[in-house]
Structure 1
């Protein structure tokens, strides 16, 4: 294990390198040299410094670490539990009934497992959309878990059990923000949604974010939850900025897309989620038409896979499916796909970096941070031939093909195995959380929760309990006309 000590030079030798530059270059038989936390050089026949760890990348693909801009990491201890849920059932379980049952140690368990899972899949930066932080003790647990995993994370602080203006306005929240470590391994955002209530109860939270100088990430254009009304409130009050990330944005009108484009924000598309849960049809076709920057996310392992290979694959499929359906409706035939594989690979890397305002990650270039992924699996018949490199990443590769992962110049996965990760300890934490939740709910309720009934409430129009506001605008389907 001495070869993987932090600070030791690393040379990835002879791979096919995707630097993710403007030209979409493909560099065959190319080396990548890492010194300390930075990429020192990219080229052929590089000389390995004395004592360097040399990794044979021949037959493999080297690309920037992938970046997930929206993942509810605290829910990962319940992996697969909601496989058959609709979005409404998700709201019932987490927002209305059982989300409040999570203790700080349960947040820790979910975040720990999610962080490890991300690294295993080559996701070197992940936004923890942490809307289960009922107290700052929960938030401390979330941060402790993230800091114990050798990945790069952004804590997006939220609390679905209280009004955003309430939890963000407390001295305890300010104290928590002031205690955050000041390094580039842990970023910070505020995470809350805008219901569209004309009284704008979320305004106070936006004012806190502005005062603190931190970005806001929000679920926008979600069928049955948020609509164009929320976008208008944000715009009219001056809270739409270039650092705002709008998640899903799948049921918005052209007017809302224009506002997002005009203010320079970006959209995090979670195609697996939008296809299955019902936020709206994955909106990449509309986003591209309005020139809005895109990043990718996987949402939550309660339903879906925790990797961005699936995100790239399903995004291409959804976009192309809609293009074909539109053409067929008109009696036409699509002869060339509008969305190409290199674009979704960019969204999974460079697009995520741009959304987070990080110019030092998301591409492979001398001087950039050494967040690097090697896709290589000599035991797999799917590993060759590599003809269309971007297509191979988007359609052929899987998490099991992630051979080596570096974060900040440190090797955290090699030869398909995690390095320096205590997976057994993570398993024990998760098993404790599952046992606790089953006992807390009772076995009958636990089993019923996999397909929960929908109570007679306003949940179809508004799952947020801090306002009684209801509006059919959240079910208008405006995005279909964008």
Structure 2
């Protein structure tokens, strides 16, 4: 595979959030081989494709439950714990394994059309979920949901994902599209001892551990009373120290943030879901200032209710500004990096989230034939980034490549018929109501 994409603007999402003009992105065997101005580009023997507008890395969704497209809109006006107990868990109890594939397939289609090429999913029936991702051509870090409830003991769930990793490896599939991980739900569902044992399994295999932490003030009162905070509980239980992703993490103390920084814990910031469920607003700026890796997550499409990471970036920036009363607290460039490079760092993946040599060629093309860019592409770098983040978002995502393979063309997925995927979800949803 040899492909050169040439565009008026390329956003490699390096730490400085540079804007490259009249630039190329070279793809060789699914990975980025070169990024830079066309005038400085090496000779290239492969296909050269001219695109208008902007090229940027595929967005990285650090926390999702995408099969929940099947329950989108249920209990939409309930607070978190009632929403779970009265709407979500009863509906999920009716799910069949094949339903997970149906839901994930449409979720993957929706994300790809929104420029999201990678998602970290915590859910059940991993074989079905992974099959849907491979069909769509996207990328996933599947976290096998591990819970300890009546009829759902935690140890068999843990043993199942351990056996899968030991059999197939941590990453597999075309261009390593699949990564397996552990998904212990939370400290209020699992005991500290169970959490510690799951973490040991993950660390032994270099696997990511995904866990919900401090999403709402009410969920973990007993854990905070016994340990002071959930991060302190996780540290005492030996959960921290490997690759750990703390989802939501809205209600953290300064000490909690220091614990996370000490152990290299990543945070999945989910502003859309957290505001819709009135769970609170995470102090994002303080996390970043402490050196904690932060990415953005949509959470489930039944609590958000979309899979739009551009929208999460806007919300993250807006909420950071208004909670600090500082219009400089989060720039457009900062928010874009959260959705790309920051998300990859939070997941412990240095092969995603940026257009840099050696990383996977997950690329998004944003068309600029839009009123948002009427001021022209010769505007300043800051103005162009502002127009992309504040005024454009997903509506101008035109083409998407994963490992250099085109999976969205002219706004529609190339591998999956969107209308058929929507019809499949519609049939399952009738049974869940």
Q: TM-score, normalised by structure 2?
A: 0.87
- The separation in 1 between residues aligned to 2:374 and 2:90, in whole angstroms, is 49
Aligned to 1:190: 182
> Take 1:296 and 1:254, find their aligned partners in 2: how far apart are those partners?
20
| Aligned residue in 2 for 1:117 | 110
Partner of 1:411: 406
Report if aligned partners of 1:221, 1:279 keep a CA contact under 8 Å in 2.
Answer: no
Is 1:27–2:17 an aligned residue pair?
A: no
Residues 341 and 394 in structure 1, CA contact (< 8 A), matched pair in contact too: yes
Deviation (angstroms), 1:173: 4.2
- Following superposition, the deviation at residue 242 of structure 1 comes to 4.9
Matched, 1:17 2:10: yes
Distance 1:52 1:220, change over 3 A: same
Where does residue 338 of structure 1 map in the other structure? 329
Return the alpha-carbon distance in structure 2 between the equivalents of residues 68 and 233 of structure 1.
Answer: 26
Call closer, same or farther: CA 1:381–1:164 in 2, change over 3 Å: farther
Deviation of residue 48 (structure 1)?
Answer: 8.0
Q: Secondary structure at the match of 1:148?
A: helix
SS for the counterpart of 1:19 is coil
In structure 2, stretches of 5+ residues that fail to align are none
The equivalent of 1:258 in structure 2 is 258
Q: Distance in 2 between matches of 1:168 and 1:108?
A: 19
Q: TM-score, normalised by structure 1?
A: 0.79
Moved more, 410-419 or 294-303: 410-419
Gaps of 5+ in 1: 1-6, 325-333, 439-482
Partner of 1:145: 132
Larger Rg: 1
Query: Residues 353 and 26 of structure 1: is their aligned pair in 2 closer, same or farther, counting only changes over 3 Å?
Result: same
What residue number does 1:168 align with?
A: 157
Asked if structure 2 preserves the Cα contact closer than 8 Å seen for 1:48 and 1:54, the reply is: no
Map 1:78-477 to 2 at 5 A.
Answer: 78-93=71-86, 96-130=89-123, 133=124, 138-160=125-147, 162=149, 165-170=154-159, 172-180=160-168, 182-183=171-172, 184-192=176-184, 193-195=186-188, 200-223=193-216, 224-226=218-220, 227=224, 228-302=228-302, 303-324=304-325, 334=326, 337-378=328-369, 380-385=370-375, 386=377, 387=379, 388-438=383-433
**CA–CA separation in structure 1 for the residues paired with 2:300 and 2:285:** 23
Distance of aligned partners of 1:180 and 1:338 in 2 relative to their CA distance in 1, 3 Å threshold: same
- Could you say if the C-alpha distance between residues 158 and 199 of structure 1 is closer, same or farther in structure 2, counting changes exceeding 3 Å? closer
Question: Does the CA contact (< 8 Å) of 2:148 and 2:189 recur in 1?
Answer: no
Write the distance in 2 (CA, Å) between the matches of 1:102 and 1:81. 15
Report the Cα offset of residue 14 of structure 1: 3.0
For the residue of structure 2 that corresponds to 1:257, the secondary structure is helix
- Backbone CA RMSD of aligned residues: 2.4
CA drift of 1:256 comes to 1.2
